[in-house]
Amino acid sequence: MAKDTRSRGGDETNGAERRSNVSALRRSEPVIRSRSTAQEKPLFNAIGFDKHSLSSAINKYRVIAKTVGVRDPFFRTHDARSGATTIMDGREVTNFASYDYLGLNQAPSVGEAAKAAIDQYGTSVSASRLVAGERGLHQELERELADFYEAEAALTFVSGHATNVATIGVLMTSDDLVVHDDYVHNSALVGIQLSGAAKRSFPHNDYDALERILAESRGQYKNALLVVEGLYSMDGDFPDLPRLIALKEKYGLWLMVDEAHSLGVLGNTGRGLFEHYDVDPRHVDIWMGTLSKTLGACGGYIAGSHALIQILKFKAPGFVYSVGLSAPLAAASLEALRLLKAEPERVARLQENGQRFLKEAKAIGLDTLGSAGYSVVPVMVGDGLKAVRLTERLLERGVNALPIIYPAVPLKAARIRFFITSEHTEEQICQTVLIVKYELDRLNRSLLKIVDSAITRFSRE
């Protein structure tokens, strides 16, 4: 039998040579493999990504933070399931930075459902559902989501962000209009941009302004979509659903409500915005939500009519050209949805905690903007750097809560955002509010204001 030496590289000397060549290659500049390409004079030069305008913007913030001696509060590592508490740098801290509003990410049966799904189906469904990725769990979850909204059908996607992008992006066209609240999530804005539809925004929760836009513009477009959130993730307030439904009917709009932060949060049994107002959910054309928050998993969903879901199933790029939701995530979401329905006491505890946080914070003089005291309570700080510094001090005192700074909110509207869960204790909430007040007052008294004005000057240069 002929001996195949092609992949063996001959004797030891050759092997050693080859290894040293390989490591030299790894160390050196990229190698141009084709001689003809190397000889051609480039017509244009691509800049390195370190010269990209986005890199400069990020680096500028880093330099400012370093100059004033604050640590980057983002991308910090957690070493535990983060809920009402978490472990950071080996230390247990009280946590207000988790979307696990009903503690379902901690529920044993949710984890067990995910493990059983892995045993049966593996960790990935390995293909788009259209071609080879459909599992019974997808249909079960979608049936229960549809029932939850009394809708005809539902569809799940692998990410909440992709759900908004794909849905708005495919439904609307350049003949259409999308009107949205100023505070809607980036995913809706990206979807609108992708669709090519005309875009008009109205000031947050200002329905007179919304009606002026509709009166003026609706007639110029074929279809029109109105996009709002069930509970706004930056301010913690929510829209007037009955008023929106009246406007939708008057002006012939499709109404889309993003329930990312209101599922499991609003309404006596956590069914969301429609239950809060005791409104028939079928008045809303497109219910959107995420599996990543109350449902403790990852992914997004749309619930609505059969016709809507059929369009998404066959035409939405983020569904058609993307892998199906993995079985463990589908199973975890399904079990979490069942627990949400079976244990409304979780919702009651969350609502009590949200109200407690809000009441204590207001009583002590903290500015909580328009928060209604449910899952999200912001504490206004103003300056971005001050918010970052406050975060750092809170962590030193055993509280993890993150700053929201420009561009997520306007330049001088930085805040610390507290996500409240059903699992926080009264003591954790009351102590945290006191710590926030104490540390914020300390910062306000400190020399930071002077440093800030120097930095503002520096960042303009």
Instruction: Determine the Cα–Cα distance for residues 63 and 421; give it in Å rounded to an integer.
Output: 35
State the minimum distance, in angstroms, from the CB of residue 268 to ligand PLP.
22
Residue tagged 């710590």 (tokens): 435
State the minimum distance, in angstroms, from the CB of residue 339 to ligand PLP.
19
Contact residues: ligand PLP, CB under 6 A: 159-161, 164, 185, 187, 229, 233, 258, 260, 290, 292, 300
State the number of CA atoms in the 13 A half-sphere of 375 facing the CB: 30
DSSP one-letter code for 326: P
Question: Given the DSSP bridges, would you call strands 414-419 and 402-404 parallel, antiparallel or unpaired?
Answer: antiparallel
State the minimum distance, in angstroms, from the CB of residue 266 to ligand PLP.
14
Pick 187 or 371: Cβ nearer ligand PLP: 187
CB 373 within 8 A of CB 359: yes
Helix H or strand E encompassing 330: helix 327-342
Pick 294 or 428: Cβ nearer ligand PLP: 294
Residue environment code for 251-265, b if the CB has 16+ CB neighbours within 10 A, otherwise e:
bebbbbbbbbbbbbb
State the minimum distance, in angstroms, from the CB of residue 82 to ligand PLP.
15
Q: Which residues pair with 226 in a beta bridge?
A: 179, 255
Pick 290 or 428: Cβ nearer ligand PLP: 290
State the minimum distance, in angstroms, from the CB of residue 244 to ligand PLP.
16
Q: Which residues pair with 419 in a beta bridge?
A: 376
The DSSP line for 241-286 is HHHHHHHHHHHT-EEEEE-TTTTTTSSTTS--HHHHHT--GGG-SE
State the minimum distance, in angstroms, from the CB of residue 229 to ligand PLP.
5
Pick 328 or 386: Cβ nearer ligand PLP: 328
